[in-house]
Chain A
Amino acid sequence: MPLEFEKPILELEKRIAELRETARTTGVDLEAEIRLLEERLARLKEEVYGSLTAWQRVQLARAPGRPTTLDVLEKAFQDFLELHGDRAYADDPAIVGGLAYLEGQKVVVVGHQKGRDTKENLHRNFGMPHPEGYRKAMRLMDLADRFGYPFLSFIDTPGAYPGVSAEERGQAWVIAQSIQRMSRLRVPAIALILGEGGSGGALAIGVANRVLIMENAWYSVISPESCAAILWREAKEAPKAAEALKLTAKDLLAQGVVDAIVPEPEGGAHKDPLKAIQNIKEALLKTLEGLKGLSPEELYRDRYRRFRTLGAYAES
């Protein structure tokens, strides 16, 4: 299913392909016409992709085919070995994690996991973790600290699961604990917002020394739909809420909420997942390099300073 604003581009691409096919099978020379359409296509792409609205980016962040945490772990890392379970209650498929190598460096990885089709999405609860997921993340933070390996997290969740079972098992408590646990890491920590960064459920694994974001990802205190439902009393005002929340990568960079933007292929990461994953790998390596030489205490202090200074207020 293409996104609404992609449709004119896809139609034009289809038309060009058809012309090429006609030229090939009939031998008629259509080069001039094809070239004209290609020029139009280039202009159209520039027009659409060069001025994406906040709401369009939110749709790109959710687009089917966009690389998920497991895609990144399998393709940007070597020898990813998944580790399961929170050692208390269950294994939450909405959060995955384990051991991996990044260009020969030992790291511990964790991330939200959405499904890549409907069936998997149900299994993954659409990337909305229960408390077990955050307990698993904390267990892996312990592991990173114990062996002194960098901790890398991948954020892609609409939010922590809002359900009865999650509340019964202390959703708020584990999110608070996970924020605290991650802030206390004595190893380099990098978080990358891959797709959706929905509220506390995202921040729980986002308290890193450096926070990166994909060009078309979003990160905020609430989803545009929920924000619209509360403030505009209509979920269909989500495009307005998306603008108002200033949730795009560029906006967040200006606010100091993220430290760098990872570029996506034209049209979004789902157009060329391998290229997007290559960009992710380069950004992670570069960021990791920048944290080398900081002692365990300095890493803790650096993270504290990073978050301590965020906010806008005036002295009385």
Chain B
Amino acid sequence: MALERLFRRKRPSGENRDVPELWTKCEACGAQLYKKEFRENLYVCPKCGHHHRVPAVERVEMLADAGTFQEITGLKPLDPLGFVDTKPYAERLRAYQEETGRKDAILGGTCTIGGVPAVLLVMDYAFAGGSMGSVVGEEIARGAERAAAEGRALVIVAASGGARMQEAALSLMQMAKTVMSLDRLWERRLPYVSVLTDPTTGGVTASFAALADVIFAEPGALIGFAGPRVIRQTIRQELPEGFQRAEFLLKHGMVDRVTDRRRLKAELVQVLRHLHPGVPYALGV
């Protein structure tokens, strides 16, 4: 199975991750959590409800129906500008690839979700902060086009610091490319749902992520255009409590629902079944 292959990806040598620490700590309340239980609770702290970040592979597992996911992503990034800051971009890419076992910051495939045929694309924050360069943009455009061609819904789980600086203007252009590819779904009357997770900012929020038919956000997720640090510098004031958090976005009318991760799949299925024209009327499934 494609998913098993993904799980069995190569680990960095020198450390044995097969015998992991049994315990971990909640980032928010500091509670000691038994890792196995924590994972079974979808990385939500059972004590305080804090939603921790989820590895892309496990996000796929949470949302795709068991055994249906077939990966369609795998484009390789280039270094079109020969970008060097304190380190060459090419070197950074290699390090991220080794660390994550992925070519770039996105994992996607075809699957069913609650029986509804879908293309599911999950951004990987562990790879360069989930930043969108040419590969992420192209994978999203291809994902949307494939969904349209095969009559599938499109589901994107966003997690990104924004556009990737090292591909500069080409990264910026991905905002237009991804947005325009969504028209293919419009033409075929197929649903597009985005899930905004912690964090979703910059050029990702300001392009495809904000344009879904239905937008979910995870509790407490940082979501916005400018990052809080930039805003603090601009206005030279402390930011209000809860600013740019999912609940703030809900209050200001930018997202449809802030949904606990443990209910996310159920709500997602309800939306997809309702909106996908190929699914017959069915209550309470």
What is A's interface to B at a CB cutoff of 8 Å?
A: 160-164, 166-173, 175-177, 179-180, 183-184, 199-200, 203, 206-207, 219-222, 226-227, 230-232, 240-241, 244-247, 252, 255, 257, 303-304, 307-308, 310-316
Contact = CB atoms under 8 A, between A and B. Distances in A.
Nearest to A199: B172
B86 interface: yes
Contact of B210 (A168, A169, A173): A173
17 contacts: A164-B243, A167-B225, A172-B206, A175-B206, A175-B225, A179-B175, A184-B183, A200-B172, A200-B202, A222-B165, A226-B230, A240-B85, A308-B141, A311-B135, A312-B80, A313-B135, A313-B138
Contacts, number: 190
B284 interface: no
A307 B76 contact: no
Interface of B: 74-78, 80-81, 83-86, 103, 133-135, 137-138, 141, 163-165, 167-177, 179-183, 201-203, 205-211, 224-226, 230-231, 234-235, 239-240, 243-244, 252-254
A220 B163 CA distance: 11
A104 B206 CA distance: 37
B259 to A, nearest CB: 19
B170 A312 contact: yes
A231 B131 CA distance: 14
B170 A183 contact: no
Given A162-B231, A164-B240, A307 B206 contact: no
Nearest to A204: B206
A184 B187 CA distance: 12
A185 B247 CA distance: 34
A166 B85 CA distance: 31
B175 to A, nearest CB: 6
Given A304-B180, A311-B138, A200 B76 contact: no
Given A171-B224, A203-B172, A221-B169, 18 more contacts: A161-B234, A162-B225, A162-B226, A171-B226, A172-B205, A179-B176, A184-B183, A200-B207, A220-B172, A221-B164, A221-B172, A245-B83, A247-B168, A257-B170, A308-B180, A311-B170, A312-B134, A313-B77
Contact of B76 (A177, A245, A314): A314
- Of B77, B170, B174, most A-chain CB atoms within 10 Å: B170
Contact of B175 (A164, A200, A244): A200
Contacts of B165: 221-222, 227, 230-231, 245
Contacts of A175: 206-207, 225
Given A173-B254, A222-B165, A310-B170, A316 B76 contact: yes
B257 to A, nearest CB: 16
B240 A312 contact: no
Given A175-B225, A313-B75, A164 B231 contact: yes
B134 A231 contact: no
Contacts of B239: 164
B168 A246 contact: yes
Contacts of B180: 180, 183, 207, 303-304, 307-308
Contact of A219 (B169, B177, B225, B252): B169
Nearest to B79: A312
A177 B172 contact: no
B107 to A, nearest CB: 13
A168 B74 CA distance: 37
A255 B170 contact: yes
Contacts of A207: 176, 180
In the A-B complex, the 10 residue pairs with the smallest Cβ-Cβ separation, listed nearest first, are A162-B226, A311-B134, A316-B74, A312-B80, A172-B205, A231-B85, A172-B225, A176-B210, A171-B225, A175-B206
Contacts of B201: 172
